[in-house]
């Protein structure tokens, strides 16, 4: 965090330029709820999910408002749904039996894999006991499709986030 000059390559017989040290180099420091956070540049990322860019030097408190990124939350829920659907699709592919050609998938007749899929389905459709008002994924827009996969109704999900963020988070 300092600037140095290599003057060994200077020519012309003059002396090296001199500089006045106006401000010593230092790490940026922010204080969050009484806790000091230091960073070697002006972009502080010590708080998960939050980036703070220090733009000025000062000693007085500055209020920072942090808004919920509902689009990022929806992206994470969609990533979960995609992963869930991949498991369901894999199970379906491996559970196919073609009697005409005597071809069967690796999971045909495997009761353990069937119990796993049934257990996943139960977790998706279950009602959960939380201290909040939302108690099922269906209440936040997670919909079970006819083929056993999931889809997210974005309108219902965003409405749930807007009306009762804490319940969505608890669920």
pLDDT of residue 58: 80
pLDDT of 78 above 90: yes
Q: Give CA–CA dist 99/111, Å, rounded.
A: 20
Model confidence at 101, in pLDDT bands (50, 70, 90)? confident
Model confidence at 27, in pLDDT bands (50, 70, 90)? confident
Contact 161, 70 (CB under 8 A): yes
Model confidence at 150, in pLDDT bands (50, 70, 90)? very high
For 74-100, what is the mean pLDDT? 91
The residue ranking higher by pLDDT, 100 or 24, is 100
Model confidence at 75, in pLDDT bands (50, 70, 90)? very high
For 93-106, what is the mean pLDDT? 82
pLDDT of 139 above 80: yes
pLDDT of residue 56: 81
Q: Which of 124, 126, 127 minimizes the C-alpha distance to 151?
A: 124
Distance separating the N- and C-terminal Cα atoms of the chain = 45
Q: Give CA–CA dist 79/73, Å, rounded.
A: 10
Virtual CA dihedral for 95, 96, 99, 104, nearest 10 degrees? -60
Q: Give CA–CA dist 154/79, Å, rounded.
A: 13
pLDDT of residue 12: 66
């Amino acid at each position: 965090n300092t600037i140095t000059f290599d003057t060994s390559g200077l020519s012309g017989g003059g002396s090296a330029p001199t500089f006045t040290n106006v401000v010593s180099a230092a790490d940026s420091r922010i204080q969050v709820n009484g806790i000091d956070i230091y960073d070697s540049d002006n972009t502080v990322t010590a708080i998960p999910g939050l980036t703070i860019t220090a733009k000025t030097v000062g000693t007085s408190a500055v209020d920072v408002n942090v808004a919920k990124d509902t689009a990022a939350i929806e992206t994470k829920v969609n990533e979960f749904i995609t992963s869930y659907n991949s498991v369901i699709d894999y199970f379906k592919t491996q559970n196919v039996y073609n009697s005409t050609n005597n071809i069967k998938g690796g999971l045909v007749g495997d009761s353990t894999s069937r119990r796993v899929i049934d257990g996943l389905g139960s977790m998706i459709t279950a009602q959960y006991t939380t201290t909040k008002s939302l108690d099922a994924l269906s209440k936040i827009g997670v919909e079970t499709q006819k083929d056993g996969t999931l889809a997210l109704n974005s309108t219902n999900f965003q409405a749930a986030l807007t009306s009762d963020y804490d319940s969505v988070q608890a669920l």
